[in-house]
Amino acid sequence: GENVEQHPSTLSVQEGDSAVIKCTYSDSASNYFPWYKQELGKGPQLIIDIRSNVGEKKDQRIAVTLNKTAKHFSLHITETQPEDSAVYFCAASMGTNAGKSTFGDGTTLTVKP
Amino acid sequence: NAGVTQTPKFQVLKTGQSMTLQCAQDMNHNSMYWYRQDPGMGLRLIYYSASEGTTDKGEVPNGYNVSRLNKREFSLRLESAAPSQTSVYFCASSSMSSTDTQYFGPGTRLTVL
């Protein structure tokens, strides 16, 4: 089955700096790669996603890049703010089966003011 | 529009007791999911339902049963709780498949003594 590895497990940055979180996946059939943000005591919430026919996607301070050949994708957050502090999860899914979503183990991001 | 709701928010059980976690969504989604989240292990899929009337096992189904009561509701039952089932449980829903955005509920924190 699919295996998703996420690095680093913890990341601490100064406010205003950039943060990068990387994920690798094993199954070349995966074609959908969402990123979720989970704040303390809440459920994960989608912040950005990318599909396998696209190499990069941006939404204001957040961007995701995908390298299908190397089977890795990354989340980039620029101009970080204290409210970006949370746990971030990557995931990989295959469209042919509704249940086949595999999540990374998460990255705890701390933005120091 | 409440999104995905879960009850209860917290529960403490003794080993061997049974309970049902309730989940409901008001977004007219076809697919629903149950995940468990353990420290440092991300989200693992327990069961999912691609559509009303169907359910399938995920990555960690042992010790659990599910019921897709109707399009809105998807319940998770622990027949004989074990300490290994201490976790935070999240319900999620998506429009059609796992390559659609998944919307998560607030979670149920379960402790089995």
| pLDDT 10s digits, B49-102 | 988 889 999 989 999 999 998 999 999 999 999 999 999 999 999 987 666 788
Q: Which of A42, A95, A104 sits opposite B42 (nearest CB)?
A: A104
Q: Please give the pLDDT value at position A58.
A: 96
At residue A54, the 3 state secondary structure works out as coil
Residue A98 to chain B, least CA–CA distance (Å): 4
Query: Which residues of chain B lie closer than 8 angstroms to A6, CB-CB?
Result: 42
Average pLDDT of chain B to the nearest whole number:
93
Q: Please give the pLDDT value at position A70.
A: 94
Q: Please give the pLDDT value at position A96.
A: 58
Q: How many CB pairs under 8 A join A and B?
A: 73
Query: Which residues of chain B lie closer than 8 angstroms to A46, CB-CB?
Result: 101-103
Nearest CA in chain B to A98: B97
Judged by CB atoms closer than 8 Å, whether chains meet at A99 and B56 is answered as: yes
Q: Please give the pLDDT value at position A1.
A: 79
Query: Which residues of chain B lie closer than 8 angstroms to A31, CB-CB?
Result: 99
Alpha carbon B49 to its chain's center: 10
What backbone phi and psi angles, to 5 degrees, belong to B54?
-125, 145
Cβ(B87)–Cβ(B38) under 8 Å? yes
Q: Please give the pLDDT value at position A19.
A: 98
Cβ(B106)–Cβ(B6) under 8 Å? yes
Q: Which of B40, B42, B96 sits opposite A103 (nearest CB)?
A: B42
Q: Please give the pLDDT value at position B97.
A: 66
Residue A91 to chain B, least CA–CA distance (Å): 9
Q: Please give the pLDDT value at position A97.
A: 56
Residue B2 confidence class, pLDDT cut points 50, 70, 90: confident
The 10s digit of each residue's pLDDT in A59-96 is 999 999 999 999 999 999 999 999 999 999 999 987 65
Residue B106 to chain A, least CA–CA distance (Å): 5
Structure tokens at B89: 């449980």
Range name among A16-20, A97-101, B109-113 with the lowest pLDDT average: A97-101
Nearest CA in chain A to B51: A98
Q: Please give the pLDDT value at position A104.
A: 94
Q: Please give the pLDDT value at position A93.
A: 86
Query: Which residues of chain A lie closer than 8 angstroms to B92, CB-CB?
Result: 43
Structure tokens at A107: 């990255």
Judged by CB atoms closer than 8 Å, whether chains meet at A98 and B48 is answered as: yes
Residues ≥6 apart with Cβ < 8 Å to B43: A44, A89, A91, A103, B35, B36, B37, B90
The 10s digit of each residue's pLDDT in A5-55 is 999 999 999 999 999 999 999 999 898 999 999 999 899 999 999 988 879
